[in-house]
Amino acid sequence: MIIYNVTVNVEDSILDEWKAWMLNAHIKEVLETGLFSGYTFSQVLVEEEIGTTYSIQYFTADMESFQLYEQLFANKIRQETAKKYGQKIVAFRTLLKVIDSK
């Protein structure tokens, strides 16, 4: 399994709107690509000077599925997010390969 992790720092001024949008629109759009089997949406429990940080983890079976997401959907979805929130959010992405879990 591959975990596509998106870590996002969000300005407090848009926090409630952003969380609602993530849960009601954005995450659904990513899942509707059919390339991810599920997700977790978590708050990162660290003190931040500015904003609040979240981690969204999407689960996919293999690298081929993730690469297909990147090729077909990622740019459009990222551009929509940037247009909506601009500099009020900062995101970085990592990929994790699951070695073992229970």
State the DSSP H helix or E strand holding residue 35, giving kind and residue range, or none if neither. Answer: none
Using a cut of 0.75, tell me whether the model's pTM lies above it.
Answer: yes
Give the number of domains in the chain: 1
pLDDT in tens, 8-28: 999 999 999 999 999 999 999
Q: What is the CATH number of the domain that holds 55?
A: 3.30.70.100
Question: What residues make up the domain containing 69?
Answer: 2-97
In a domain, 87, yes or no: yes
Chain Cα centroid distance, residue 74: 11
pLDDT in tens, 45-61: 988 888 999 999 999 99
Strands 89-97 and 52-60: unpaired
CA R_g for the chain? 14
| Listed residue (16, 85, 75) closest to 93, CA to CA | 75
In a domain, 102, yes or no: no
